[in-house]
């Protein structure tokens, strides 16, 4: 089977994409809806969702599991809710907007490496290097030399989803929300791109897996320690890009409600799900560039120095630790969402153009000077 996938790269890429989305991204996005409610309830001294329960057929046992099945109830509610379409909307753009909101972020997962390469034929052996492998399977959907440029190209398309939703709904509040979203996303995309220029200068590549390999298993070599300013700038701008609190101006409930105010049923559910998927991708790109990706401190190709492991165990351990890093960053975003108050529109624009942008340019200058000094010595 592995030999067949090695020979048919297109099929292998498709299967890896399906596996990544169905086995990790979509379940985590669904559980994030429950985790956010539980997190906010804990911080506000409330109970939160705890009533949804599952009855085991034949045994009569009822499991509540802290309300963890609430996301199933949400999905069923949105699936069977009536899909109301206002009479004066632009029906084509109205239907296209949810697709434009979720499709780009799903495709961008193709560049995220979620594990080290699999060595075909040596799965149960202890190997010290992948050079002995006759063939390898990368745990990354596609490897593009312009990986980060591919990410920014698709991220810019997500602006159209919110803009089209506001424009096509024939509602003044939706239009205002769409305009806020487009101005906010375009403003912070500039800082996002410039904040990663320092990482590009340091690693010398735009390919995400090459960045992970360059960092190694020593945490002191991870991008977080060599690009601390770039890490803070990118994380801030990326959270603003997801349009979540404290940067949720397009969905300002007190004055606008949001650019999707005229949506209901599964169309609204797609917008809702897209936000959580964006937070997972943000965690993935931060992990890849700044937190060592799938690397585990002290874990080499043949295992730890005190414990040798077969190759498959090394790969699975790295993928599991990669997942834990994603979970931590998702939790961090929830913590930020329910801790900081929402910015005013003028404060948001001022911070983006007058504070974050100059700092990102300063980070490029400092990194370039350090790279030149290191190459000269």
From the list 129, 117, 306, the residue with the least C-alpha distance to 212 is 117
Strands 61-63 vs 54-56: parallel, antiparallel or unpaired: antiparallel
CB 116 within 8 A of CB 294: yes
From the list 277, 273, 26, 284, the residue with the least C-alpha distance to 140 is 284
| Whether pLDDT at 311 is above 80 | yes
CB 128 within 8 A of CB 309: no
Please state which of the ranges 39-53, 54-68, 164-178 shows the lowest mean pLDDT: 54-68
Q: What is the pLDDT of residues 189-231, one digit of tens each?
A: 899 999 999 999 999 899 999 999 999 989 999 999 999 999 9
Query: Which range of residues forms the domain containing residue 61?
Result: 2-376
Tokens of 10: 């297109």
Q: Which contiguous run of DSSP H or E holds residue 118?
A: strand 118-119
Report the distance separating Cα 300 and Cα 286, nearest Å: 22
Report the pLDDT value the prediction gives residue 63, as an integer from 0 to 100.
72
CB 136 within 8 A of CB 118: yes
Report the distance separating Cα 377 and Cα 362, nearest Å: 23
From the list 107, 26, 111, the residue with the least C-alpha distance to 288 is 111
Count how many domains the chain has: 1
From the list 168, 212, 174, the residue with the least C-alpha distance to 319 is 212
Q: What is the pLDDT of residues 1-59, one digit of tens each?
A: 555 555 557 788 888 999 999 999 999 998 898 888 888 888 888 888 877 777 777 77
Q: What is the pLDDT of residues 101-126, one digit of tens each?
A: 999 999 999 999 999 998 887 788 88
Tokens of 342: 């929402």
**Mean pLDDT, the chain, integer:** 87
């Amino acid at each position: 089977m592995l030999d067949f996938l090695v020979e048919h790269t297109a099929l292998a890429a498709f299967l890896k994409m399906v596996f990544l989305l169905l086995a990790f991204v979509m379940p985590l996005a669904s559980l994030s809806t429950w985790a956010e409610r539980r997190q906010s309830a804990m911080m506000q001294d409330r109970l939160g969702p705890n009533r949804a329960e599952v009855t085991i057929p034949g045994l009569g046992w009822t499991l509540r599991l802290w309300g963890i099945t609430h996301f199933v109830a949400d999905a069923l509610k949105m699936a069977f809710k009536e899909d109301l379409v206002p009479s004066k909307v632009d029906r084509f753009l109205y239907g296209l907007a949810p697709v434009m909101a979720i499709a780009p972020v799903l495709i961008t997962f193709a560049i995220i490496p979620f594990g080290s390469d699999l060595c075909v034929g040596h799965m149960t052996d202890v190997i010290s290097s992948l050079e002995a492998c006759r063939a390898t399977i990368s745990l990354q959907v596609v490897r593009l030399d312009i990986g980060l440029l591919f990410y920014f190209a698709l991220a810019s398309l997500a602006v159209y989803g919110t803009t089209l939703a506001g424009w096509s709904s024939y509602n003044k509040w939706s239009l205002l929300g769409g305009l806020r979203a487009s101005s906010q996303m375009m403003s912070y995309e500039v800082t996002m791109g410039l904040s990663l220029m320092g990482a590009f200068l340091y690693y010398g590549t735009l390919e995400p897996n090459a960045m992970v390999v360059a960092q190694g298993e020593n945490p002191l070599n991870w991008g977080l320690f060599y690009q601390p300013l770039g890490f803070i700038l990118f994380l801030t701008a990326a959270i603003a890009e997801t349009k979540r609190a404290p940067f949720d101006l397009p969905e300002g409930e007190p004055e606008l409600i949001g650019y999707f105010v005229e949506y209901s049923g599964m169309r609204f559910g797609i917008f809702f799900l897209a936000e959580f998927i964006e937070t997972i991708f943000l965690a993935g790109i931060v992990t890849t560039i700044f937190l060592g990706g799938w690397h585990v401190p002290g874990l080499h190709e043949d295992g730890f120095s005190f414990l040798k492991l077969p190759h498959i165990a090394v790969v699975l351990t790295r993928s599991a630790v990669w997942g834990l890093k994603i979970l931590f960053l998702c939790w961090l975003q929830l913590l930020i969402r329910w801790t900081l108050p929402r910015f005013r529109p003028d404060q948001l624009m001022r911070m983006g153009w007058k504070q974050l942008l100059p700092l990102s340019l300063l980070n490029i200058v400092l990194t370039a000077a350090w790279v030149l000094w290191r190459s000269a010595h």
